[in-house]
Amino acid sequence: MAKEKMQIMVCGGTTCSGKHGEMVYDNLKLELEANALENEVNVVRTGCFGLCKSGPVVKVMPGEVIYTGVKPDDAKDIVSSHIMKGKIVERLLFTDPESKKPLTTEKDLSSQKKQIRIVLRNCGIIDPENIDEAIARDAYEALGKVLTEMKPLDVIKIIKDSGLRGRGGGGFSTGLKWEIAYKNKADEKYVVCNADEGDPGAFMDRSVLEGDPHAVLEAMAICGYSIEAHKGLIYIRAEYPLAVARLKTAIKQAREYGLLGKNIIGTGFDFDIDIRYGAGAFVCGEETALIHSMEGLRGEPTVKPPFPAEAGFMGKPTNVNNVETFACISPIILKGSEWFASIGTAKSKGTKVFALAGKINNVGLIEVPMGTTLREVIYEIGGGIRNGKKFKAAQTGGPSGGCLTEKHLDTPIDFDNLIAAGSMMGSGGLIVMDEDDCMVSVAKFFLDFTVEESCGKCAPCRIGNKRLHELLEHITKGKGVPADLVRLKNMCHVIKDTSLCGLGQSSPNPVLSTLENFREEYEAHVTTKKCPAGQCKDLMEYFIIEGNCVGCTACARVCPVGAITGERKEPHVINPAICIKCGACMEKCKFDAIIIR
């Protein structure tokens, strides 16, 4: 084979570009041209390498050599030394902070990256419809180990020691949950996988089921062995047709391979899995409601105790875990509890998948160790706020959570810190808001959702949330009075204290947390009747600054309702009584004469 062509990759991620990464790219091209090498060496821009702290990053192939902290002037050395003489430019290599030795290749630098993929280890990498590919990446190895070498209590001990906590939101110790289910003796027990992912903006469970269904099946079988259950059920929403189809294929293939069903891996252990469909009710993510829904009853929660581990599905001991929790199990068995416990913070171990959404550049799924700060998530991995705007808040925990603000940017994210900050982990949706978002409207948006999703069983949630929503509606329409803020807060506490299940107990959180962190915005709405972010239509007014208006008539011509009048070459005026606040005039004006006030 001919000698491999040399190629240079330049990181075009937001952080690297911000540190003159573009100039590095340009200079490399110029330098190659100067040496008549532009046809010999290929230079391309790439996405983020995940080494943002050490950017800009340049990678040279073949050899996968990574240069960090490259300045535009360094292009000369890279070309003259590495490209022309094959001599690596030592001074641009990354120095390992511990060993003080230079790290050369991408592989060496792996541990410097912020993200670790445990849950998402196979997503997008294997063909989910081919069980061989999953097996090639260690699927079912942990199950084999558990069934042949371990007793149920050994497995429970490993999971307990690993410090794994439920990823569905509550953060209860998974090992402890298994232990309780193990200790409750019964002729039949059940393992349930909660795939009723309902938080707006969160889709990690769907991705895992679509990309790596065997991770969940294997973990459910391991759980079954540990709590002495022989039946597994996956409760998944019917709105996830692709996940359902891939799960079905995976279950079928696992049965054919003898990895599910009777006598698994020849060990005599029986375990089979079936799918149950949910109709997409948010409350069915709550475990008692989920179990009722599976039994064919209305999806309504009941009082705990009894906990599902005592009397769950069909009155039998049942262990319910979330998809992401299950996806952590096999690596823990294979790599040990110490390995898992070494990742994360003192009380929150391992990694967490977040679904980044909202006003952020890199929307999508990320997986970071617990304890990563919000700043790292938003500005490094997330690529910063869209259009260079200012960060205002990030909602975690979906409609049950609260918002984190600028003062929380450097707080390590884990279960306990989020609760201390007035929010919660939830399932890991992270919705980012910028300076243009009105926090009262944000709270109203989440309440919209809860009002819609409340099952109606208990009065505080059914009626209380509705009234909360009405109050917020009033405030955003400019009809609020200062006393409303007190009423809001009181009502929130009543709903929280008296609701039956997690839905009602947490639904006022978005209101409480925005009220706490952005009180001045609420006050502006109720006192001066202004929306500082300019989002609440009823509280704003388009206005023409006389001095800036040249009378070009562009705005008057574009106005769909004829609200703008004025003579040619004379300042125009908007009649607020006619204006429908569509904003067309503001877009059209070339002289910045139209403002919102």
Partner 1 sequence: MSTIKSPADLKKRKAEFLEKMNRKEKIRVRVHLGTSGQASGAKEIFDFIRLELEKRNIEANVISTGDLGYSFAEPTLEVTLPGKNPVVYGNVDKLKADEIIEKYIKNGEYVDGILPVNYQVIN
Residue of 24, 49, 301, 589 interacting with partner 1 (CB under 8 A)? 49
Buried b (16+ CB within 10 A) or exposed e, 25-37: bebbbebbeeeee
Residue closer to partner 1 by CB (options 240, 415) is 240
- Least distance to partner 1 from the beta carbon of 57, Å? 8
- Least distance to partner 1 from the beta carbon of 330, Å? 10
- Of residues 134-173, those binding partner 1 (CB under 8 A): 135-138, 140-141, 144-145, 147-148
- Of residues 307-346, those binding partner 1 (CB under 8 A): 331, 335
Residue closer to partner 1 by CB (options 259, 281) is 259
Residue closer to partner 1 by CB (options 50, 224) is 50
CB 182 within 8 A of CB 412: no
- Encoded one letter per residue, x for contact with partner 1 by CB under 8 A and - for no contact, window 24-43 reads ------------------x-
Q: How far apart are CA 281 and CA 266, in angstroms?
A: 40
Q: Does 115 bind partner 1 (CB under 8 A)?
A: yes
Residue of 20, 29, 45, 537 interacting with partner 1 (CB under 8 A)? 45
Omega cis (within 30) before 317? no
Q: Does 457 bind partner 1 (CB under 8 A)?
A: no
Residue closer to partner 1 by CB (options 87, 107) is 107
Q: How far apart are CA 142 and CA 462, in angstroms?
A: 45
Residue closer to partner 1 by CB (options 148, 527) is 148
Give the strand pairing for 102-103 and 94-95. antiparallel
Residue closer to partner 1 by CB (options 128, 171) is 128
The stretches of 413-562 forming alpha helices (DSSP H) are: 415-420, 439-453, 459, 465-476, 483-498, 502-506, 509-517, 519-526, 554-558
- Least distance to partner 1 from the beta carbon of 417, Å? 23
Q: Does 19 bind partner 1 (CB under 8 A)?
A: no
- Encoded one letter per residue, x for contact with partner 1 by CB under 8 A and - for no contact, window 531-570 reads ----------------------------------------
**250 three-state secondary structure:** helix
Residue of 65, 126, 251, 540 interacting with partner 1 (CB under 8 A)? 126
Residue 429's nearest CA partner among 451, 468, 397, 461 is 397
Q: Does 284 bind partner 1 (CB under 8 A)?
A: no
**282 three-state secondary structure:** helix
Mark the segment that binds partner 1 (CB under 8 A) among 93-101, 183-191, 355-363, 535-543.
355-363
Q: Does 358 bind partner 1 (CB under 8 A)?
A: no
Residue 565's nearest CA partner among 549, 590, 593, 555 is 555
Q: Within 13 Å of residue 427, how many CA atoms lie on the same side as its CB?
A: 25
- Least distance to partner 1 from the beta carbon of 117, Å? 5
Size of the site for partner 1 (CB under 8 A): 74
- CA-to-CA dists, residue 486 to 74, 483, 490, 519, 526, angstroms: 60, 5, 6, 11, 12
- Of residues 376-415, those binding partner 1 (CB under 8 A): 381, 383
User: What token pair was written down for 101?
Assistant: 């030795």
- Least distance to partner 1 from the beta carbon of 31, Å? 18
Residue of 31, 196, 197, 210 interacting with partner 1 (CB under 8 A)? 210
CB 288 within 8 A of CB 306: no
Q: Does 101 bind partner 1 (CB under 8 A)?
A: no
- Of residues 223-262, those binding partner 1 (CB under 8 A): 240, 242-243, 246, 256-259
Taking the CA atoms of 226, 227, 232 and 238 in sequence, report the sign of the dihedral they define. Answer: negative
- CA-to-CA dists, residue 471 to 400, 440, 468, angstroms: 19, 11, 5
Q: How far apart are CA 259 and CA 187, in angstroms?
A: 23
- Of residues 54-93, those binding partner 1 (CB under 8 A): 59, 61, 64
